[in-house]
Amino acid sequence: MTYRDTWIEGPKGRLFVRTWSPQALTRQAPIILLHDSLGCVQLWRGLPEALARATGRQVVAYDRLGFGESAAHPGKLGLDFINAEAEGDFDALRSQLDLEHFVLLGHSVGGCVAINCAARFGTQCVALLTLAAQVFVEDVTLQGIRAAKTLFEDPKQLERLRKYHGDKAQWVLDAWTGSWLHPAFSAWSHEAVLPQVKCPTLVIHGVEDEYGSAAHARLIAERVAGPVQLEIQPGTGHFPHRENEAAVVETLARFIQPLA
């Protein structure tokens, strides 16, 4: 297994990209990972390599603008950031890496970004895979974010973020809490986008998810237009791929194995 680091030019700044390539590389579509609100390439931990080994596909992860090793964001994160990602930085990634077809895998809000990208690039998206995706504003989500905001008042907690985001750590935290807790975001929903997703879709959600109930997963499964597999996992929280990595990788690999 090897990986390669590179950068691409997004509309507002340089983006960090890491690509894992298994030795027995197939010619199937690569898997693109879309991280959560506090995430980055490094915080996927062992998942990309495990997924590349299990599928024989390349796995590509990138830091969204303002996160990880990508350039600092020039201002506040706009409340339209989910739609803007598909139209901006993801489109730049797809174009500059010459990705004609791809599998999308998103975690948490990255799952919703993946849904939006799958809808926008329907003929190119081979499959959509979501982990703990959120598609509307729910009280349990806001409660979890408020609790996390209080936790991060401890300087030691913010220091943990700096390990991955450097001087951008406070911006990352503010982008997460500031967008979801903003009054203008309270009516946000991605329900209308779901029927535009026509590719095979795998939805994984934990019953104990502290940032969203299984209602998100059920809504995705009910509304996407393509074939769908729903996996609601007991005893699992917001990070299924960390809590049950081997089982999740096996489920993901089995789902996409017959696809291009």
Query: Which residues constitute the domain of residue 74?
Result: 2-256
- What is the number of structural domains in the chain? 1
CATH number for 226: 3.40.50.1820
Q: What is the pTM of this model?
A: 0.96
What's the confidence (pLDDT) of residue 21?
94
What's the confidence (pLDDT) of residue 1?
81
- Residues sharing a CB contact under 8 Å with residue 181, sequence separation 6 or more, in sequence order: 142, 145, 146, 149
Per-residue pLDDT of the chain (260 residues; tens, 9 = 90+): 889 999 999 999 999 999 999 987 788 999 999 999 999 999 999 999 999 999 999 999 999 999 999 999 999 999 999 999 999 999 999 999 999 999 999 999 999 999 999 999 999 999 999 999 999 999 999 999 999 999 999 999 899 999 999 999 999 999 999 999 999 999 999 999 999 999 999 999 999 999 999 999 999 999 999 999 999 999 999 999 999 999 999 999 999 999 97
